[in-house]
Structure 1
Amino acid sequence: MIPNRVGESSGPVFGESDLGGVDNDMTLVNGGEAIGQRIFVHGRVLGFDGKPVPHTLVEAWQANAAGRYRHKNDSWPAPLDPHFNGVARTLTDKDGHYHFYTVMPGNYPWGNHHNAWRPAHIHFSLYGRQFTERLVTQMYFPNDPLFFQDPIYNAVPKGARERMIAAFDYDETRENFALGYKFDIVLRGRNATPFE
C-alpha cells in the first residue's frame, strides 16, 4: 500500500475559481435564448443528519425541450436547440444551497419496452470531498403521466420515490422569466435521495 503524503488529494478539488459565471445556466449559449419553458431549479445538499453540505460540486444534464440530448449518441430525431447546452455545474454555498437555470426537459422514447417514453427528468451528479464520494440521481417533476411505465423510477421503492420528485416552488418563481422547482438532495441515511 502506498502511503498518503501531506498535500495529496484523492480526487479533483473544485473551487469558485474553477467555475465560470454562467456555468449554472443551460440557457445562455451562442448569444440566443433556449427554446422552452424556463425553470429555476434550486435546493440544498444535506447530510444524513440534515446539516448542509457546503462546497459540493453539483453537475446537472438533461434533454432539451424537444427531448433531445446534445451528445452524438442520441439518435432521437428531435431538433437540437443551438441556444441550449444541456449541462451545468455549480458549487453549493456555505449553507448547502445550489441553483440552476434551464428549460423544462422534453420526453423522449427509448427502446426499453413497447412504446416506452421517459418522464421529464434532470440528471444530477454530486461530488464530495474525495473522488470516490459521488451520488448520481435523477430529478423528476410532479404528476408526470409517464411514471407508471418508467423502469428507472419504478425500480425505487414506493416510499422513496417522492424524494426524486421536485416540488413546484411559486415563491422561487422568477417573475416573467422562470418557474421555480425545489429539489433537496440528501446524501446518506434513511432519507437519502435514491441513486440512479
Structure 2
Amino acid sequence: MPLESTFFQRDRTLHPPALTEQYKSSVLRSPKTPLFSLQNSLSEVTGPVFRAAELGPLDNDLILNYAHDGEPIGERIVVHGRVLDENGRGVPNTLVEFWQANAGGRYRHKNDTYLAPIDPNFGGCGRALTDETGAYVFRTIKPGAYPFRNYANSWRPAHIHFSLFGSAFAQRLITQMYFEGDPLIRHDQILSTIPDPEARQRLIASLDMNAAVPLDSLAYRFDIVLRGRRQTFFENKRQGT
C-alpha cells in the first residue's frame, strides 16, 4: 500500500478503556479478549466519497427539517467548527452527522420513555458536508439533560452526538459534544471514562458570541480532529501526483 495512503496510529491512551466499571453498560459490552491490530485495507483508506447533491436543503437545519405546524420549543443555537486532520489541515467534503435529545431531554426513539414530552416539531437529527476548508455549520435547539440508569440520580449533561467519516473509513469517528459551563459535566460517568483531562476538555464546545445571531441564537464552536496522513512531499507536491 502506498505510504501516502496510510494513517497515523491512534493514541489509545486518549480513548476510554473498553471496560470502565463506573459506566455499568461497559461491563457487558466490553470485549473479553485483547484486540487484534490489522493493516488497513484499500477500501478503508480510499472511501467513502460524499457529494453536496446527496444532501437536502434543510439537512443541517434541525429547527426546520422536522417542523410540521410550528417550530420546536427551546433555546435556538448555532453549532459550527472545522474538521481537521492531525496535521491541522481542513478535511473537505466529509459527512458530519448529528443527533440529539430535544429541549426537554428526550430522544425521538421508541426506546426512550423519559417523562419529558416529545416535541412534535423536532426530529433531532441532521447532517452537513464540510466545505473546502473543512468547515461545517448547523442550527438546532439546545438539548436538555436527562437521567439514565447507571447509579442513583445519574444524569447526562446536555450533549450532541456526532458521526464523521473523514476522507476514508479509517478516519471514522463517533463522539459527543458538550457545552461550556454545564455544571453536570463534572458529574458525568460516561465522559469521565476518558482518562486524560485535556482530552475530555476537547469535547466541550466553546461559547462563540461572534457567531451568534442577534435576537435569535447563541453559537458554539466545536472543532473536530481526525487522524492525519503521513505524506511525503516533493517540490510542494504529494509523491505520485
Scaled to the shorter chain, the TM-score interval is 0.7 to 0.9
Please point out which of 160, 178, 187 is paired with 2:199.
160
The count of corresponding residues between Structure 1 and Structure 2 is 184
Please point out which of 20, 24, 38 is paired with 2:56.
20
Letter in 1 for 2:83: V
Verify: 1:61 aligned to 2:99, yes or no: yes
Give, in whole Å, the separation in 2 of the partners of 1:119 and 1:184: 19
Letter in 2 for 1:158: P
Give, in whole Å, the separation in 2 of the partners of 1:127 and 1:59: 9
CA spacing shift, 1:60–1:4, aligned 2, 3 Å:
closer
Deviation of the 1:133 alpha carbon: 3.2
Residue aligned with 1:123, SS: strand
Please point out which of 106, 111, 134 is paired with 2:149.
111
Residue aligned with 1:32, SS: coil
* Residues 80-120 of structure 1, C-alpha deviations (whole Å, 9 max, x = no match): 11111100101000000001110110000000111001000
Give, in whole Å, the separation in 2 of the partners of 1:164 and 1:133: 17
Matches within 5 A, 1:146-185: 146-156=184-194, 157-185=196-224
Give, in whole Å, the separation in 2 of the partners of 1:19 and 1:160: 32
Backbone CA RMSD of aligned residues: 1.9
Letter in 1 for 2:54: D
Please point out which of 120, 135, 152 is paired with 1:82.
120
Which segment drifts farther, 92-101 or 25-34?
Answer: 25-34
Please point out which of 9, 17, 37 is paired with 2:75.
37
Q: Report which of the two has the higher share of helix.
A: 2
Give, in whole Å, the separation in 2 of the partners of 1:129 and 1:42: 19
Q: Is the 8 A contact 2:61 2:126 kept in 1?
A: yes
Give, in whole Å, the separation in 1 of the partners of 2:168 and 2:86: 17
Deviation of the 1:32 alpha carbon: 1.6
Compute the TM-score of the two structures, normalised by the length of structure 1. 0.88
Give, in whole Å, the separation in 2 of the partners of 1:128 and 1:168: 25
CA spacing shift, 1:31–1:94, aligned 2, 3 Å:
farther
Verify: 1:138 aligned to 2:176, yes or no: yes
Residue aligned with 1:148, SS: helix
Which segment drifts farther, 140-149 or 117-126?
Answer: 140-149
